[in-house]
Amino acid sequence: MLRLTIGVFKTALVVVFFTAGVLSVVFSQCVGLMVSLLLYGSFNSEISQAWISHTKKSFICVLTAVLSFASRKPITIRLTSPNLDKDRLLTYTDGTISTVLAQHAVFIGNHQIYTDWAYVWWLTYTAKMAGFIYILLKAELSKIPLLGFGMKTYDFIFLTRKWAVDKLTMALHLSRIDANARGKGPASGAVPDANGDWPKGNDPSRSWPYQMLIFPEGTNLSANTRSKTEAYAAKVERTPFKHVLLPKTTGLRYTLLKLRGTVEEVYDLTIGYSGVRPDEYGQDIYGLWSVFLLGNSPEFVDIDIRVINIEDIPLGKLEYDDPEEEEKDKKIFEDWLFDVWQKKDNLMDKYYASGSFAQAHKQITARATTTLNMEFSDILQTFAVPAILMILARLLYVIYSIFYNPPACAVPVSVPDPSLDPSVIFGQ
């Protein structure tokens, strides 16, 4: 009974804290946008970019705190890499870690559970890049109350899975992100021309980082999506993988082409979770309800990071005059991506057999292990803007009360007339 009571109380705290955190983040976003509008006459400015980046970091701190607190046991993150320099994944004596990631990077990975993106976002936090993440998401998620507004303010990219529509959406967002990375975007006060093109050139002193996260599979692995990927495999004449879904190529290729001038590294992430057998689906074990309300999180989250040089990816080009050449280049990129996913599937096979990517690799160049955590001061900063404004409002009210409220009028006190005393009148 005591355990049930504690569980209910813990769940209530999770709901209250997460709701308060989301409200605080969205409120802070609105304040930042209004400050930008008042000072610069626009929502797009360097100050708004910095403010929104701060709230991005705040949100992942809230989410990480919720994941950690809700879990019945500590969540251990194990990072490995077959080709990162060892000084780019560091574990300190206090158990914390730091990572060194490129300022302009694209992350691709397999999609197992709904919270995959949270762990990748946290990974960027360890590199002090959490405020610069961008994620490609399903358009339906933009309709979630509060969270949808927040994600749109973050300039996340929402896709309908209709390429004619999505291409225009991606072009708008990616051009803006690329321009900011060159120091020639809205964050630097620049404006596009009549054709929507941003100024050419680079201004490193005003460059903004980006960490672009894409799950090329488009959805997480489940019994339902496996049947769909088998149908897709038959359509494209491919053999389905055992542990991952077949990746879609169009969106990823377009993203890399649009960002090719600024992207420094592409990170191929392979994500595995303890407690999941090869014949099981992670989403059935670690669903949202199970993770956040029942505290059933994985004991180990394993992330393998393989660095890919952008020059080694056969992208082709954005515009073609010859349709046959375009189809040929698309096929070359598709073959490359499917080869990457085949290696990922093989790695997952070894992961399930050994229980870790460190054992799955013949050789690793870097590794780091820690529990899912964040700086407590970063959590407090999430609530800084509402708290400061509340204090200022209270201070202004006190000042107003002292200097502008007229003093209360004195109420005369009536003194009874002794002649009206009954004892005097009747001689008593």
Residue 234 in 3-state DSSP?
Answer: helix
Letter for the amino acid at 135? I
3-state secondary structure 73-142: CCCEEEEEECCCCHHHEEECCCCCEEECCCCEEEEEECCCCCCHHHHHHHHHHHCCCHHHEEEEEEHHHH
Report if residue 4 sits inside a domain. Answer: yes
Same domain assignment for residues 297 and 333: yes
Report if residue 101 sits inside a domain. Answer: yes
For residue 247, which phi and psi values (nearest 5 degrees)? -80, 150
What pLDDT, on the 0 to 100 scale, is given for residue 171? Answer: 96
Q: CA of 60: how far to CAs of 57, 64, 205, 237, 266, in Å?
A: 5, 6, 27, 40, 22
Average pLDDT over every residue of 10-35: 92
Same domain assignment for residues 126 and 226: yes
> What are 86's two structure tokens?
């060892």
Report if residue 46 sits inside a domain. Answer: yes
- List CB contacts of 316: < 8 A, sequence separation 6 or more: 253, 257, 326, 329, 330, 332, 333
Same domain assignment for residues 274 and 290: yes
Same domain assignment for residues 11 and 94: no
Q: How far apart are CA 353 and CA 339, in angstroms?
A: 21
Residue 76 burial (10 A CB sphere; 0-12, 13-18, 19+) = middle
> What are 399's two structure tokens?
């000042």
What are 265-316's pLDDT values in tens digits?
Answer: 999 999 999 999 999 999 999 999 999 989 999 999 999 999 999 999 999 9
Higher local confidence (pLDDT), 289 or 362: 289
Higher local confidence (pLDDT), 408 or 321: 321
Pairing of strands 89-91, 97-99: antiparallel
Report if residue 424 sits inside a domain. Answer: no
Same domain assignment for residues 104 and 229: yes
Q: How far apart are CA 367 and CA 82, in angstroms?
A: 9
Report if residue 159 sits inside a domain. Answer: no
Average pLDDT over every residue of 327-346: 97
Count of structural domains, the chain: 2
Give buried/exposed letters for 287-315 (b at 16+ CB in 10 A, else e): beeebbbebbbbeebbbbbbbbebeebeb
Report if residue 141 sits inside a domain. Answer: no
- CA atoms lying within 13 Å on the CB side of residue 21: 23
Report if residue 276 sits inside a domain. Answer: yes
Is the predicted pLDDT of residue 42 greater than 90, yes or no?
A: no
> What are 235's two structure tokens?
């359509």
Among residues 365, 377, 400, 368, which one has the least CA distance to residue 96? 368
What are 176-193's pLDDT values in tens digits?
Answer: 999 999 999 988 888 889
Is the predicted pLDDT of residue 417 greater than 80, yes or no?
A: no
Same domain assignment for residues 293 and 234: yes
Is the predicted pLDDT of residue 408 greater than 90, yes or no?
A: no
| Domain boundary pick from 323, 354, 371 | 371
Same domain assignment for residues 250 and 391: no
94-98, 106-110, 324-328, 335-339: the lowest-pLDDT one: 94-98
> What are 132's two structure tokens?
């610069």
Q: How far apart are CA 109 and CA 202, in angstroms?
A: 30
Element (H, E) at 269: strand 265-273
Same domain assignment for residues 126 and 59: no
Residue 20 burial (10 A CB sphere; 0-12, 13-18, 19+) = middle
Q: How far apart are CA 411 and CA 399, in angstroms?
A: 25
Among residues 334, 233, 225, 217, which one has the least CA distance to residue 269? 217
Same domain assignment for residues 88 and 1: no
Domain limits for position 9? 1-71+374-398
Same domain assignment for residues 66 and 79: no
Same domain assignment for residues 11 and 46: yes
Report if residue 240 sits inside a domain. Answer: yes
Enter the DSSP assignment of 274. T
What are 60-72's pLDDT values in tens digits?
Answer: 999 999 999 999 9
Whole-model pTM: value is 0.90
> What are 294's two structure tokens?
């029942």
| Domain boundary pick from 331, 354, 371 | 371
CA 137 distance to own-chain centroid: 11
What are 367-382's pLDDT values in tens digits?
Answer: 999 999 989 999 999 9
Same domain assignment for residues 229 and 362: yes
